[in-house]
Structure 1
Amino acid sequence: MSTQPSSTLSFLSTFEKLDQLLSFDDATDNMLTVIALGGLSQKVRQLWWASEESFSITPSAPLQDMLSLYAQRCWQEIRHNVEIYQALSEYVKMCFSDTPCFQNDIHLQHRYPELPLIKFWLASASCCCRKAPIEQDVLWHKHLQLTQSVCIAAELQKQNQQCLVYYHQTAIMVVELETRKIVVMTHKAFPPFSIHNFNVQFFPYPN
């Protein structure tokens, strides 16, 4: 796996493809917010349109309430799925932890496009149960960062289907088992090194 700009890790094309996933009004202005609130789900989009509430960078209070109720119903329906329950539990831990922890639930994002909405609702609902809760705006910012990471990771997984792709709040890791290479996309550069017979290389995380 090469870390050169000409490699398959083309973030410009990645964002262009993500942009094309959304076809409704002002998608380019609020694309990340839309995805973070489950907007790739047809059912969620129907709720927005039915509400007749404007959707901008910050959804209106009535729309937020409607989305919360829908997320709660979805959670009740899927909570007994062990794989999803584990992924959601790990996600909530990531939201409340300062220790980087990579997640690999990309395949679930395709199966359940409303999953980002459920993740944020569950993390918000668990705030009151924490010994050291965080402010809602801080939680929302973390959720947006994680949503951006999982979107990029999903596109990289599509481009590199034989690789393992993991993500967390500000980094993505692509593991190529055949060539024993690991590419870590993060904001802080580091020199190449080897660990457990894998060659680890740096690639800048997109701004």
Structure 2
Amino acid sequence: MPNDILTHLTTLSPELIKATWETLYMSIVSVFFASLIGIPLGVILVITDKGHIKENLPLNRLLGSIVNIFRSFPFIILLLALSPFTRFVVGTTIGTTAAIVPLTIASAPFVARLVETSLKEVSWGVVEASLAMGASTWQIIRKVLLPEAMPGIILGTTITTIAVIGYSAMAGVVGGGGLGDLAVRYGYMRFDSVIMVTTVIILVVLVQVIQSLGNALAAKFNKN
């Protein structure tokens, strides 16, 4: 029996390797683009809040509402709802590249809120001291807020990456590729429990590795 399982996995190893690579590709690229959107958005949410360096409550409430709306959508519904936009951006709704579009849009608000939380933990005394020395808004963001909040931002990005890995498995159900697609095609449709268990194990390993890397990187940036 163990030999049969090993032979079966060996036969499907090219598919497993390809699916793992597709999952990593979707997740890493999506988190990259989500960070490009979410980090600036998180910064704006903080500095425009009441009593902060660029208080602008109407803008803050508007952006906060937009973030909350996108965060409230279950990913599978967002995935389907964004099909026309995905087709407009990449020309198709099928495949790993197409899955990056809804993955990015789903995770960007998540990144924004995590960045906002990290930035709000920065001591206001440090910001006040920078203001007293005549620092500009950009200097405070670049030299005070972001460096002080960097460990929290890294941990937040790690959490987002792990969540996106889960989302990518869901994207596989509708043809997004990756481990989710493999689990559906080989595990579910062909009643192959070996493949189902193997894909779960690979996902668990990926999560453990990413979390460990995130913890190590956050510790490196932690000034305390």
Common fold by TM > 0.5: no
Q: Could you say which structure has the higher strand fraction?
A: 1
TM-score, normalised to structure 2, is 0.35
TM-score, normalised to structure 1, is 0.38
Larger Rg: 2
Q: Could you say which structure has the higher helix fraction?
A: 2
